[in-house]
């Protein structure tokens, strides 16, 4: 079952928490916990020293993971023991994707994902024009290649990205790196609304979804949201896993009250 089909199963607004692999010793308990709290998928970040889109909080989480000896390959292998009812979607950068299995390149990377049960992947710094082999190899491995749409993209570009994406389309809320914000960017809803008219895939908004109110507001147009920095900030500041899980449950309760509109509508 693909990421997209799994996410669309019951039509509710989608909640995708982000977890940096290895950020705390019991990070796998966090993954299990957010699923029990109502996550529809979990985005798994891999530590990387030179991120393009990660803001200070996610960078701190990455540094914590690396400081504990976290490395992309072994961290991915830890996922193999999980038995979850929702898809895992790995987010990483092209440098990691191309070098995780140097002798096999991108094919080795997506095969590794599939072998440990990952069903989707996001590589935000790989341009659409250079992604054909990656997308083809991911499809062969049964892993959805989720692509990002930015608010600055024109309609033609949005259509190209939506057509090439699989699983869901990830909309950036603004032309900024990840991080907590005081307000939801106006471009968040505008971008989701535009893209929903171009695809039947779920349209998910992320980047700067910092409060329950942001989530509810974004889901007036988007089919779901990703929450990342707010959760990672709690962890890097020392909050226990149980407290982060409860934060995810709070988002789930709020999104459950948002009236559904048809995917792609």
Are 248 and 38 in contact by the 8 Å Cβ rule? The answer is yes
Between 47-51, 101-105, 148-152, the lowest mean confidence (pLDDT) is in: 101-105
Long-range contacts of 105-112 (CB under 8 A, 24+ apart): 106/133, 106/134, 106/137, 107/137, 107/141, 110/134, 110/137, 110/138, 110/140, 110/141, 110/143, 111/141, 112/73, 112/76
Q: Which of 99, 156, 100 is nearest to 128 (CA)?
A: 156
State yes or no: pLDDT of 100 exceeds 80: yes
Q: Tell me how far apart the alpha carbons of residues 168 and 147 are, in angstroms, rounded to a whole number.
A: 8
Q: Tell me how far apart the alpha carbons of residues 36 and 191 are, in angstroms, rounded to a whole number.
A: 30
pLDDT tens digits along 204-251: 999 989 899 999 999 999 999 999 999 999 999 999 999 999 999 999
Residue extents of the structural domains in the chain? 14-255
Q: Which CATH architecture has domain 14-255?
A: Alpha-Beta Barrel (3.20)
- Angle at Cα 264 formed by Cα 263 and Cα 265, nearest 5°? 90
- The 10 Å Cβ neighbour count of residue 10 is 7
Alpha-carbon separation of residue 162 from 49, 56, 94, 106, 146 (angstroms): 29, 29, 20, 21, 9
Q: What is the pTM of this model?
A: 0.92
**Residue among 10, 40, 43, 83 flagged as catalytic:** 43
Question: Angle, to 10 degrees, between the axis of helix 229-236 and the axis of helix 56-67?
Answer: 50
pLDDT tens digits along 104-144: 788 999 999 999 999 999 999 999 999 999 999 999 999 99
Active-site annotation holds for 125: no
Between 32-46, 92-106, 144-158, 170-184, the lowest mean confidence (pLDDT) is in: 170-184
Active-site annotation holds for 133: no
Confidence of residue 55 (pLDDT cuts 50, 70, 90): confident
Q: What pLDDT score does 183 carry? A: 83
**Residue among 54, 144, 221, 247 flagged as catalytic:** 54
Task: Compare 154 and 50 and report the one with higher pLDDT.
Answer: 154
């Amino acid at each position: 079952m693909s990421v997209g089909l799994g996410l669309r199963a019951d039509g509710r607004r989608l909640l995708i928490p982000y977890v940096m692999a290895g950020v705390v010793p019991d990070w796998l308990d966090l993954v299990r916990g957010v699923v029990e709290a109502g996550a529809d998928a979990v985005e798994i970040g891999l530590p990387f020293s030179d991120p393009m889109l990660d803001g200070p909080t996610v960078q701190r989480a990455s540094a914590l993971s690396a400081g504990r000896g976290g490395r992309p390959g072994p961290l991915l292998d830890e996922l193999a023991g999980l038995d979850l009812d929702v898809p895992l979607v790995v987010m990483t950068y092209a440098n990691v994707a191309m070098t995780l299995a140097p002798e096999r390149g991108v094919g080795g990377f997506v095969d590794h994902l599939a072998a440990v049960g990952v069903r989707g992947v996001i590589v935000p710094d790989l341009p659409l024009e250079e992604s054909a082999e990656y997308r083809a190899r991911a499809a062969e491995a049964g892993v959805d290649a989720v692509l990002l749409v930015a608010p600055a993209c024109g309609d033609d570009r949005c259509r190209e990205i939506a057509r090439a994406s699989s699983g869901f389309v990830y909309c950036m809320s603004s032309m900024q790196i990840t991080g907590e914000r005081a307000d939801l960017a106006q471009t968040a809803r505008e971008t989701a609304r535009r893209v929903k008219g171009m695809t039947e895939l779920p349209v998910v908004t992320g980047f700067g979804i910092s409060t329950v109110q942001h989530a509810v507001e974004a889901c007036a147009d988007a089919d779901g949201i990703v929450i990342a920095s707010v959760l990672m900030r709690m962890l890097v500041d020392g909050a226990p896993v149980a407290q982060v899980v409860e934060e995810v449950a709070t988002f789930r309760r709020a999104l459950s009250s948002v009236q559904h509109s048809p995917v792609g509508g």
